[in-house]
Amino acid sequence: MKRHGANREQIIELLEHEGGVTEQSVRKVSGETGVPEADIWGAGMFYSLINQPGKRVRVCDGLTCQMMGAEQLAEDLKESGKEVERVICLGQCDRAPASLDETMNLVTYGKTTHISPENSDLPMNLGGAEDMAWSALAKAREMGAEAVIEELKAAGLQGRGGAGFPAHFKWSSVRQQVDQERYVVCNADESEPGTFKDREVLLRRPHLILEGLAIAAHVVHAKDIFIYIRGEFTNEIASLKKAVAEAEAMLGDVTVHIAKGHGAYICGEETALLESLEGKRGMPRLKPPYPTEQGFRNKPTLMHNVETIACVPSILRRGGTWFQEQGRTEAGSKLYCISGHVNNPGVYEAPLGITLDELVELAGGYDGNPNSFSPGGASSGFLPMKYRDLPLDYKSLADAGSMLGSAGVVVLNDTIDMAQAVAWQLEFFERESCGQCAPCRIGTQYLRRQVHKYLETGTVDSLKMTSDVSWEMEEGSICGLGMVAFKPLQTAQEHFPEAFQKRSEKQ
């Protein structure tokens, strides 16, 4: 007899297989898994790729796509008879505007992407060939777990998923847990507007990721690795599946599971990701306990971003000190995404601490007269060009009231209305709030509404309570989304006050 909840982890995949959430599919999945229908409705309705069955074109709503004409694209597609849905950032900012067709295939209308040219001195070297012999894993086995962690420490590797937390602490913490059932989880849910670096690693260097994960599993004694990858990344999922099949002999008794996301940005937050992996709504958990203590299935779990893991093989092959020296103001090289008003948008591997001007030079120069930039995705807000020589690293940007985050740099030239840019970012947060805490659920809605009111009426009165509400959000939210969702408005008001007065003066 089936136990209720026994197969809960499969329900989202099964709903997708059935074509999405409908009365029939929910009943069928409940029958197959023993999970109550109410739970299946609750989980399924959370995910935008399955909660409204039916085929339609999905047009990206991210900041860069909006700047590059997404609105017009959506109108044109509607006029040609297509059913159109506006969706969160598709992670194609370098080729903006972007859309997915009815069968989830990517259609882009902008430039082609660029990457750093092949250079074997770069730790990730996106343009280079894969090491199919996995020499770093062999070395890790020779060195032993503690020596591997010492090498990560010498490398000064900080997590590349946004927070910049030193990687070696997490590896040691998982090893110190009493529970011997442990997991490794790779966060490939990349969805922050402006960010598309993991996409290129997944496409071009999947073996680098798998080798890094195998080293992690060896060190923390995990037998199962889960890669949670955003569902819209069709080509990247195929690339990863091919690499997993090729790597079978190297992986030994470790199993790699590929779990697809289903269209919820918040599932990039590590504990929301774990909930989602367990077949639930992707709602962040309260921390502590941290995933290293109680993660997947409440067991010790080592979680890392794709790029963090992709740095590990070269750290072991060439040494922690070598990696550390590849950075300028902080350790190592970094994959910077750059899009918006630059000539050659793409992913450039550069020393951590490169400046905006230097990065844009790699990207072929500015397109038009630059006015502002968003250094690390929507969560980082906007900075004026007086910061063009600031090192793009974790500390310098935090000191400037922003953040490096996922290093999704977007340049805005002086044709963009800053208040409108703020409204685009706020729409994103409002739509992607999971809704479990009031300050975030209500605050994201309130801020977006007030900025729209300002754009429509030009009256500054509509903005007078926004800083109080922002404070509530920062102080009262469970996770990083609510804690930073006001940043686009706060930073733009601080650095571009004229953008929030002009219209009222005109009245």
- Identified binder of ligand FMN from the candidate list 189, 349, 367, 430, rule CB under 6 A: 189
112 three-state secondary structure = coil
Which of ligand SF4, ligand FMN, none is residue 477 near (CB under 5 to 8 Å by kind)? Answer: ligand SF4
Q: How far is the CB of 369 from ligand FMN (least distance, A)?
A: 32
- Identified binder of ligand SF4 from the candidate list 149, 188, 434, 499, rule CB under 6 A: 434
- Identified binder of ligand FMN from the candidate list 161, 279, 282, 351, rule CB under 6 A: 161
Tell me the C-alpha distance between 54 and 19, whole Å. 8
The gap from C-alpha 192 to its chain's centroid, in whole angstroms, comes to 5
Is 163 one of the binding residues for ligand FMN (CB under 6 A)? yes
* Contact between 348 and 115 (Cβ < 8 Å): yes
Q: How far is the CB of 438 from ligand SF4 (least distance, A)?
A: 8
Amino acid 282 reads G
Q: If you search the block for the tokens 């999922």, which residue do you land on?
A: 237
Which of ligand SF4, ligand FMN, none is residue 436 near (CB under 5 to 8 Å by kind)? Answer: ligand SF4
Tell me the C-alpha distance between 472 and 324, whole Å. 39
- Identified binder of ligand FMN from the candidate list 200, 236, 270, 330, rule CB under 6 A: 270
For ligand SF4, which stretch binds (CB under 6 A), given 45-53, 106-114, 379-387, 479-487? 479-487
How many other CB atoms sit within 10 Å of the CB of residue 463? 18
**Secondary element (H or E) of residue 226:** strand 224-229
Of the pair 327, 482, the CB lying nearest ligand SF4 is at 482
Is 282 one of the binding residues for ligand FMN (CB under 6 A)? no
- Nearest Cα neighbor of 58 from 43, 44, 70, 46 is 70
Is 447 one of the binding residues for ligand SF4 (CB under 6 A)? no
For ligand SF4, which stretch binds (CB under 6 A), given 53-61, 163-171, 386-394, 432-440? 432-440
Residue 431 φ then ψ, to 5°:
-70, -30
Q: How far is the CB of 160 from ligand FMN (least distance, A)?
A: 5
Q: How far is the CB of 489 from ligand FMN (least distance, A)?
A: 17
Q: How far is the CB of 230 from ligand FMN (least distance, A)?
A: 8
Q: How far is the CB of 420 from ligand FMN (least distance, A)?
A: 23
Strands (E), 19-153: 57-60, 84-87, 98-100, 106-108, 114-115
Which of ligand FMN, ligand SF4, none is residue 270 near (CB under 5 to 8 Å by kind)? Answer: ligand FMN
- Identified binder of ligand FMN from the candidate list 9, 94, 269, 349, rule CB under 6 A: 269
CA gyration radius for the chain?
A: 22
- Nearest Cα neighbor of 306 from 159, 414, 179, 417 is 159
Half-sphere exposure of 406 (CA within 13 A, CB side): 29
Cis bond upstream, residue 384 (ω within 30):
no
The gap from C-alpha 252 to its chain's centroid, in whole angstroms, comes to 30
Q: How far is the CB of 360 from ligand FMN (least distance, A)?
A: 24
Tell me whether residue 224 is exposed, middle or buried, using C-beta atoms within 10 angstroms of its C-beta: 0 to 12, 13 to 18, 19 or more: middle
Please tell me the chain's helix, strand, coil percentages from 3-state DSSP, rounded to the nearest 5: 50, 15, 40
DSSP 8-state class, residue 21: S
Is 481 one of the binding residues for ligand SF4 (CB under 6 A)? yes
For ligand SF4, which stretch binds (CB under 6 A), given 45-53, 274-282, 340-348, 474-482? 474-482
Tell me the C-alpha distance between 402 and 404, whole Å. 7
DSSP string, 305-316: EHHHHHHHHHHH
**Which position's Cβ is nearest ligand SF4?**
482
- Identified binder of ligand FMN from the candidate list 480, 489, 492, 493, rule CB under 6 A: 480
For ligand FMN, which stretch binds (CB under 6 A), given 8-16, 127-135, 137-145, 297-305? 297-305
Which of ligand FMN, ligand SF4, none is residue 165 near (CB under 5 to 8 Å by kind)? Answer: ligand FMN
Is 433 one of the binding residues for ligand FMN (CB under 6 A)? no
The gap from C-alpha 319 to its chain's centroid, in whole angstroms, comes to 28
Q: How far is the CB of 484 from ligand FMN (least distance, A)?
A: 8
- Identified binder of ligand FMN from the candidate list 97, 110, 162, 279, rule CB under 6 A: 162
β pairing state of 98-100 and 57-60: antiparallel
313 three-state secondary structure = helix
Tell me the C-alpha distance between 346 and 112, whole Å. 8
Write the interaction track for ligand FMN spanning residues 117-156; mark x where CB under 6 A is met and - where it is not.
----------------------------------------
Residues at the site binding ligand FMN, with contacts judged by CB under 6 A: 159-163, 165, 187, 189-192, 266, 268-270, 303-305, 308, 479-481
Residues at the site binding ligand SF4, with contacts judged by CB under 6 A: 266, 284, 433-437, 440-441, 477-479, 481-482
